[in-house]
């Protein structure tokens, strides 16, 4: 399967490298307004293939995206220190209005995977511009936030993260919602697991994890200027679920809602992701406070999206 990546900045290059190490596709095609940068990244990543997976990495223009099963959209400007994801909107929306029609023309059968921030608003914009069949536009959403939450819980209680189940919902940003009601460890409520292990678990521990998940990107940006390894690997994981029709449940962004209805804006819920893109949106049990927080998160995205033409 061919996978295209539009934008070879930090995130695009990290995604391409992660896909190479993981063997996410048979061929990667890198496209960037800076053609020299795209060619250099492709050549550098190609040099990693003898040590990882035998895939082909090349650079080209939009026409070279023809035949791609997935096109990952990472084009845009980076988030500045102290800048929220929503403050990025005006700058990156203009870029997407130029890029998306060219991608759709070149690769009309591709699933579009949006990674540029603010990802939920831009996913909403791409849905409007691309006019693709239902489920063929996906935002990376809170896939990384969910992974962060699971890893922090696992670290706190001393268990493999693969046995921690739970989701971060809503905006990939300040209003995101950690859905504590549905979190479990090997089928046990976290409190029960901790009781069995003689560990402390309560509001203090939840609040600490909530803060660390919510502040992670800001702390990384303050220290090194940008985040890219985590999101790059998340993009590789989402891509694999599409090209291999794995039907993984991932917290990705879309305007699709449980039951097949469609909302006004995209945000993250657990969704079944396979060969055709999003196959279903799943219900997540929420307590009243979490329901209110999710509605507030949707409102934050809707307010930002209202300014889009």
Specify binding-site residues for substrate: 79, 85, 117-120, 145-148, 227
Neighbours of 91 (CB within 10 A): 11
Phi, then psi, of 189 in degrees rounded to 5: -60, 145
DSSP state of 170: B
Provide the annotated binding site for NAD(+). 7-12, 32, 37, 62, 76-77, 92, 115-117, 140
3-class DSSP state for residue 30? strand
**Quick one: which of 57, 55, 26 has its CA closest to 40?**
57
172 labelled catalytic: yes
Provide the annotated binding site. 7-12, 32, 37, 62, 76-77, 79, 85, 92, 115-120, 140, 145-148, 150, 165, 227
Distance, in Å, from the CA atom of 283 to the CA atom of 164, rounded to the nearest integer, reads: 18
Residues 6+ apart with CB under 8 A from 287: 180, 181
Residue whose pair of structure tokens reads 């608003």 in the numeric block = 121
Residues 6+ apart with CB under 8 A from 249: 270, 271, 272, 273, 282
Provide the annotated binding site for beta-D-fructose 1,6-bisphosphate. 150, 165
Distance, in Å, from the CA atom of 261 to the CA atom of 281, rounded to the nearest integer, reads: 9
Helix axes 229-243, 143-157, angle to 10 degrees: 110
Catalytic residue among 69, 136, 156, 172: 172
Residues 6+ apart with CB under 8 A from 285: 179, 181, 182
Contact 256, 281 (CB under 8 A): yes
* Positions marked catalytic: 172
């Amino acid at each position: 399967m061919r996978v295209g990546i539009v934008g070879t900045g930090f995130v695009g290059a990290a995604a391409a490298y992660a896909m190479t190490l993981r063997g996410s596709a048979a061929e990667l095609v890198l496209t960037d307004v800076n053609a020299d940068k795209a060619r250099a990244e492709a050549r550098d990543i190609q040099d990693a293939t003898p040590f990882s997976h035998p895939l082909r990495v090349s650079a080209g223009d939009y026409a070279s995206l023809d035949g791609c099963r997935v096109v990952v959209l990472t084009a845009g400007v980076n988030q500045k220190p102290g800048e929220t994801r929503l403050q990025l909107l005006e700058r990156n929306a203009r870029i997407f209005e130029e890029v998306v029609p060219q991608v759709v023309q070149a690769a009309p059968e591709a699933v579009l995977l949006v990674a540029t921030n603010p990802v939920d608003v831009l996913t909403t914009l791409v849905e409007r511009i691309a006019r693709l069949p239902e489920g063929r536009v996906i935002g990376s959403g809170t896939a990384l936030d969910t992974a962060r939450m699971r890893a922090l819980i696992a670290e706190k209680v001393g268990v493999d993260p693969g046995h921690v189940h739970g989701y971060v919902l809503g905006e990939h940003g300040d209003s995101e919602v950690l859905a504590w009601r549905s979190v479990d460890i090997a089928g046990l409520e976290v409190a029960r697991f901790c009781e069995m292990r003689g560990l402390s678990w309560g509001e203090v521990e939840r609040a600490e994890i909530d803060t660390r998940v919510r502040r992670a990107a800001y702390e990384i940006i303050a220290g090194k200027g940008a985040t890219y390894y985590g999101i790059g690997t998340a993009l590789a994981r989402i891509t694999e679920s599409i090209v291999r029709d794995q039907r993984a449940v991932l917290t990705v962004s879309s305007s699709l809602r449980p039951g097949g209805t469609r909302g006004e804006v995209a945000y993250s819920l657990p969704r079944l992701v396979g060969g055709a893109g999003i196959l279903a949106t799943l219900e997540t049990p929420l307590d009243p406070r979490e329901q209110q927080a999710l509605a507030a998160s949707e409102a934050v995205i809707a307010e930002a999206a209202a300014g889009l033409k």
